[in-house]
């Protein structure tokens, strides 16, 4: 595959072909709209025969964006190309003049918004029966050019039917799936979040007051996509929030989410009690015009929940949640995100920003899991979902947190029941409190399980969770760990493309096709490097030999097993 | 805790106290026998109050053996002290002369065996109603000095009752648990494997023809125990098998397992077809006299299963399984491990070696999971279990392998049903085929799930799985990943000590007691180091501040939440 190497001058990633990783960027085309959907096609070293088809190459779902296309020159200072502008679907939008006083160094276009009284959200169109370019895009993307091929899946549920644009439309119309796609993020390659689609993962990036530069954060974002993040959240706090976000959005091929209360809090000097609806509202509009695709909004935490939170082992561990709790307690007033929720929806619908209803009361320890505080808030999130849907605003629901394995299923069941099947987006869950340093593994365990039950997107956790801010390598470890989890859930749900990939990997393994194994794995560079080191550290051997250093030639079971069959 | 540092001269580990990790080695005492059960007691920086008790220290289950006791000088060339000799329970054993022609450099004592016609296995005593020192040892060890303290667990099953020696006896008598403890392994600190006890993990070590020295393997074994392995398996092939094993057993405080067919194969020049019952029998006795505590024996793969294996994606991926399949096919004769199974039991009962019935037909790809080959063999393993039990030989059953998440439960249910509740010991399961380089995470996902359903021991998988032999750091990553999984399962099963540890960790986290968090985590050194690096890379701060670099001081939810409650 094409890899991004770091330019020593800017710290940014640019597309370069790395020798030895056999894949190429290909594009599928839309039939309704003039779309080009990028995929990573692996060139296999030979032809593999599955039940009803031969494969000499295999197309993968690709989140890396234009950075992995060697024919595209990217320049982080200019941003990515506005591909969505070329899809011919621009009705209903207008462009007021831009506020040029904002501190942005990247070229900024005039932001779009919906004309007064005109619906422009994906949910609006879906309910009207209209298929948008974004719907066709995600349908083709989900299929991975693998429609109607049989796989070896056996199980009760089978998602092997091809995804059609009409099916996407239906899922969005009923709120069971969302396409986060702000009309001011034209660089976006649309993706869909919902339980009848491929399980997605989010990578959090963003600086804190504790250091790290804008360049570092943009680089992390680009690399997170390269390793497999389906969305990124910019959780920056501290200085330069606006500028950091502008750089990230302009360079991001995946949806960008934020938690607007963080910036609002900076605007009032870090004092929770000083927050006002007006400051928050202006922050929403500022970010909306920049192109943020979804907002985490902690509108579900109410005064009535606070006594339950006080009984907890670890209180409130959501940053946004703790800010709103302080505000509510100080003013003895209901959460303004709740009382102004319809106002929020009216803003969001003019840009088609999805709401991610924040779980302010997610448990921060397994002892607090599934308690009154958590499920009390979840019920409110369910009622807010219905309010947002009245405005054709797309919604997903954020979930825990720390939950022991035996209580994971109840989380999924309650969410489906209380939130009307709006997509569930969970942080983990972490299945123990004591795995600091290894919390990416902890989270992958809970994440795989809840995704196999129907959770639509997993927020990654890195090895630094509970200890510090992730660096680039932590982002890699976090993303891949959750790709393992998401893929495991896709297999459990019968995702067709997932089964075919595993089948090819196993056929490659059984025939000692090492290069194909590297390329089909989730992290080809690492796999190849680990193998190379293992072989290098042993006696001089034919590097394409029919065994590996685990067993050596005499004890290779696969070799013996093949001899048996031959 | 006491750490082992590597002596540059020998490459071996010796006990040294590392400054800054606040724990000490303590010993609980037996009331029936003169036992001393080592534990690692964490010194907490302050007193934490749980439901019914205050903790200013917390005792942990400790697998590290004498190496973590600074008052004990260990010398790998002499081996560990034979602690079991002092327990006053030596009836029924005799000591024939030793074969001094074997290539051993470590001092070797004359091996013991049962007197003719006398039962000496743990199962024999259990069925007679006799409590052995080993039974009392594991009862005290499982309780971790935490009997009858309430925890915050809520769920359906609750294992919070204290473990008594009598309960241990009953579980062993009915075959639901085993204590692998060869009478020739006097250095052993006994442990118990069974679904009503703490979930255990095994670490595979051992060299192949591809390099790595005896010293490296012993060092890996010692470190594996230090990081949390409950048993180790020496899977050495190639030269020096006998010598490597002698060094490992003499220096191992945990049970050592082997797959005797590997050495038998070396004795016949690596040619599977040349294997004979006589060579195998002699190998069993050789290893029995050395003190190996359990043998993996692939007695369940029969001629009738081979056609099923041939239809598979990845055939036979068990090394022992592929050897026996080749032998059966070449001789057109039933597996001699099956036909001689009673002979094997007669040997094993004279040393009290447990059988780990090998799953020669475990699936090597998710496409092969839960097929006729796998479940056909499992049924045979169930019938062999009953045969072994007739001889009072302790049995556990090995399990897969590669299994997608939605088929994991069926594995556990079928094993319980077909194998009469003999403990299940699984390799993973790996829940996808494409996670090479990250297979320890892949395995931790499936392992946590199957252990929460009742699997008793998880065999670790390292990041090198499918690619090469693990080095020391891979052993660490593999052990800790599976400790996370096992602990998550213990929580799901209501293990009392596990809940208390998580509660203390969360209380430490909520009160910013960083040192306590490091010490209570699964890998204190790593946790502390990650935190230290994070703080060092940010601006100059009070290192004991009430926040971490993830959020910085203004955005710390726990800080805000505490202020709210205060």
Task: Tell me how far apart the alpha carbons of residues A399 and A382 are, in angstroms, rounded to a whole number.
Answer: 12
Intervals of chain A under pLDDT 70: 1-21, 96-107, 148-160, 208-212, 538-551, 553, 565-566
Segments of B322-412 assigned E as strands? 354-357, 395-399
- Report yes or no: B534 at the A interface, CB cutoff 8 Å: yes
Q: A143, A195, A189, A181: which is closest to A165 by C-alpha? A: A143
Segments of A12-152 assigned E as strands? 13-17, 23-29, 36-50, 53-61, 93-94, 113-114
Name every chain B residue with its beta carbon within 8 A of the beta carbon of A541: 210
Task: Tell me how far apart the alpha carbons of residues A70 and A20 are, in angstroms, rounded to a whole number.
Answer: 15
Which pLDDT score is estimated for B250?
A: 96
**Contact indicator for A283, A260 with CB cutoff of 8 Å:** yes
Q: Does B396 score more than 80 pLDDT?
A: yes
Q: What is the pLDDT of residues A179-237, one digit of tens each?
A: 999 999 999 999 999 999 999 999 998 876 555 677 888 888 999 999 999 999 999 88
Which pLDDT score is estimated for B534?
A: 83
Which of A 252-271 lie inside 8 A of B, CB atoms? 262, 265, 270
Which pLDDT score is estimated for B22?
A: 79
- Could you tell me what percent of chain B has a pLDDT over 90? 75
Whether residue B429 is preceded by a cis peptide bond, meaning omega within 30 degrees of 0, is yes
- Report yes or no: B219 at the A interface, CB cutoff 8 Å: no
Average pLDDT in chain A: 89
Average pLDDT in chain B: 89
Range with the poorest average pLDDT among A171-180, B83-92, B554-563: B554-563
Q: B252 to each of A205, B196, B283, how far by Cα in Å?
A: 45, 25, 21
Contact (CB<8Å) B436/A492: no
Task: Tell me how far apart the alpha carbons of residues A489 and B432 are, in angstroms, rounded to a whole number.
Answer: 9
Which pLDDT score is estimated for B274?
A: 97
Q: Which residue in B306, B502, B530 is closest to A437 by CB distance?
A: B530
**Contact indicator for B247, B213 with CB cutoff of 8 Å:** no
B383's CB contacts (< 8 A; 6+ apart) are none
Contact (CB<8Å) A434/B406: no
Contact (CB<8Å) A539/B210: yes
- Report yes or no: A88 at the B interface, CB cutoff 8 Å: no
Task: Tell me how far apart the alpha carbons of residues A17 and A456 are, in angstroms, rounded to a whole number.
Answer: 33
Which pLDDT score is estimated for B559?
A: 82
Question: A69-96 in b/e burial notation, b at 16+ Cβ within 10 A?
Answer: beebebebeebbeebbeebebeebbeee
* Cα maximum dimension of chain A: 78
Name every chain B residue with its beta carbon within 8 A of the beta carbon of A537: 211
How would residue B212 be classed by pLDDT, with cut points 50, 70 and 90?
low
Taking phi over 0 as left and psi of -120 to 50 as alpha, with beta for the rest, B216 belongs to alpha
Q: Does B9 score more than 50 pLDDT?
A: no
Which pLDDT score is estimated for A237?
A: 82
Q: Does B239 score more than 90 pLDDT?
A: no
Q: Which residue has the tokens 């959780």?
A: A235
**Contact indicator for A373, A415 with CB cutoff of 8 Å:** no
> Is A425 labelled as part of a ligand binding site?
yes
3-state DSSP of B487-544: HHHHHHCCCHHHHHHHHHHHHHHHCCCHHHHHHHCCCHHHHHHHHHHHHHCCCCCCCC
Q: Is B467 helix (H, G, I), strand (E, B) or coil?
A: coil
**Contact indicator for A130, A170 with CB cutoff of 8 Å:** no
Q: B70, B411, B240, B61: which is closest to A434 by C-alpha? A: B61
- Report yes or no: A34 at the B interface, CB cutoff 8 Å: no
Task: Provide the pairing of β-strand A424-427 with A457-459.
Answer: parallel
Which pLDDT score is estimated for A385?
A: 98
Which pLDDT score is estimated for A96?
A: 61
**Contact indicator for B182, B77 with CB cutoff of 8 Å:** no
Which pLDDT score is estimated for B558?
A: 81
Q: Does B234 score more than 70 pLDDT?
A: yes
Task: Provide the pairing of β-strand A294-297 with A354-357.
Answer: parallel
* Closest Cα in chain B to A210: B538
Q: A149, A151, A132, A128: which is closest to A89 by C-alpha? A: A132
Taking phi over 0 as left and psi of -120 to 50 as alpha, with beta for the rest, A110 belongs to beta
Strand partners, B3: B16
Q: Quote the distance between the C-alpha of residue A482 and its chain's center.
A: 10
Q: What is the pLDDT of residues B145-203, one digit of tens each?
A: 987 544 555 554 445 578 999 999 999 999 999 999 999 999 999 999 999 999 999 99
Q: Which residue has the tokens 């619906």?
A: A119
**Contact indicator for B451, A533 with CB cutoff of 8 Å:** no
Higher-pLDDT residue of B325 and B239 is B325
A187 to chain B, closest Cα gap in Å? 29
- Report yes or no: B464 at the A interface, CB cutoff 8 Å: yes
- Report yes or no: B310 at the A interface, CB cutoff 8 Å: yes
- Report yes or no: B473 at the A interface, CB cutoff 8 Å: no
Which pLDDT score is estimated for B148?
A: 54
A231 to chain B, closest Cα gap in Å? 20
Q: Is the ipTM, as predicted for this complex, more than 0.90?
A: yes
Name every chain B residue with its beta carbon within 8 A of the beta carbon of A530: 436-437, 463-464, 467-468
Task: Tell me how far apart the alpha carbons of residues A306 and A483 are, in angstroms, rounded to a whole number.
Answer: 35
- Report yes or no: A27 at the B interface, CB cutoff 8 Å: no
Contact (CB<8Å) B405/A534: no
Residue B437 DSSP class: T
**Contact indicator for B50, B503 with CB cutoff of 8 Å:** yes
A559's CB contacts (< 8 A; 6+ apart) are A512, A546, A547, A553
């Amino acid at each position: 595959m094409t890899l991004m190497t770091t330019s020593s001058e800017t710290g940014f990633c640019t597309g370069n072909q790395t020798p030895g990783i056999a894949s190429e960027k290909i594009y599928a085309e839309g039939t309704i709209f003039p779309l080009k959907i990028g995929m990573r096609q692996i060139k296999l070293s030979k032809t593999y025969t599955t039940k009803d088809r031969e494969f000499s190459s295999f197309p993968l779902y690709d989140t890396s964006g234009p950075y992995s296309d060697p024919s595209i020159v990217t320049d982080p200072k200019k941003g990515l190309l506005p591909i969505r502008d070329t899809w011919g679907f621009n009705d209903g939008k207008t462009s007021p003049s831009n506020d040029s006083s904002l501190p942005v160094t990247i070229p900024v276009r005039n932001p779009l918004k919906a004309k007064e009284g005109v619906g422009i959200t994906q949910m609006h169109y879906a309910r009207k029966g209209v298929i948008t370019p974004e719907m066709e895009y995600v349908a083709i993307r989900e299929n991975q050019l693998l429609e109607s091929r049989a796989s070896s899946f056996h199980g009760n549920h089978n998602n092997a039917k091809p995804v059609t644009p009409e099916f996407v439309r239906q899922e969005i119309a009923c709120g069971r799936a969302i396409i986060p796609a702000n009309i001011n993020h034209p660089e976006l390659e649309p993706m869909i979040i919902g339980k009848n689609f491929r399980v997605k993962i989010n990578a959090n990036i963003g600086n804190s007051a504790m250091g790290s530069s804008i360049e570092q954060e943009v680089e992390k974002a680009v690399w997170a996509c390269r390793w497999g993040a389906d969305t990124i959240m910019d959780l920056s706090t501290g200085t330069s929030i606006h500028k950091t976000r502008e750089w990230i959005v302009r360079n991001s091929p995946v949806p960008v989410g934020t938690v607007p209360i963080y910036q609002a809090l900076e605007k009032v000097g870090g004092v929770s009690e000083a927050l006002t609806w007006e400051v928050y509202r202006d922050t929403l509009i500022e970010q909306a015009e920049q192109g943020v695709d979804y907002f985490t909004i902690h509108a579900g935490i109410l005064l009535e929940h606070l006594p339950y939170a006080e009984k907890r082992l670890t209180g409130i561990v959501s940053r946004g949640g703790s800010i709103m709790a302080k505000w509510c307690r100080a003013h003895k007033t209901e959460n303004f995100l709740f009382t102004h929720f319809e106002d929020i929806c009216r803003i969001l619908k003019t840009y088609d920003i999805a709401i991610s209803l924040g779980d302010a009361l997610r448990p921060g320890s397994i002892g607090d899991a599934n308690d009154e505080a958590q499920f009390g808030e979840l019920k409110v999130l369910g009622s807010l979902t219905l309010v947002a849907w009245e405005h054709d605003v797309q919604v997903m629901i954020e979930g825990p947190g720390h939950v022991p394995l035996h209580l994971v299923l109840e989380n999924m069941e309650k969410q489906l029941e209380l939130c009307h099947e709006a997509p569930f987006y969970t942080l983990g869950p972490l299945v123990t409190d004591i795995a600091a340093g290894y919390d990416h593994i902890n989270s992958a365990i809970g994440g795989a399980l809840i995704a196999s039950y129907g959770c639509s997107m997993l927020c990654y956790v890195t090895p630094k969770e509970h200890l510090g801010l992730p660096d680039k390598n932590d982002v890699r470890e976090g993303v891949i760990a959750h790709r393992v989890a998401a893929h495991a859930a896709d297999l459990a749900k019968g995702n067709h493309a997932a089964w075919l990939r595993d089948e090819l990997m196993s056929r490659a393994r059984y025939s000692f096709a090492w290069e194909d194994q590297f390329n089909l794995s989730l992290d080809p560079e690492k796999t190849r490097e680990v193998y190379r080191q293992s072989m290098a550290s042993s006696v001089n051997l034919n590097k394409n030999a029919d065994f590996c250093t685990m067993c050596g030639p005499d004890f290779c079971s696969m070799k013996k097993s093949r001899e048996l069959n031959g």
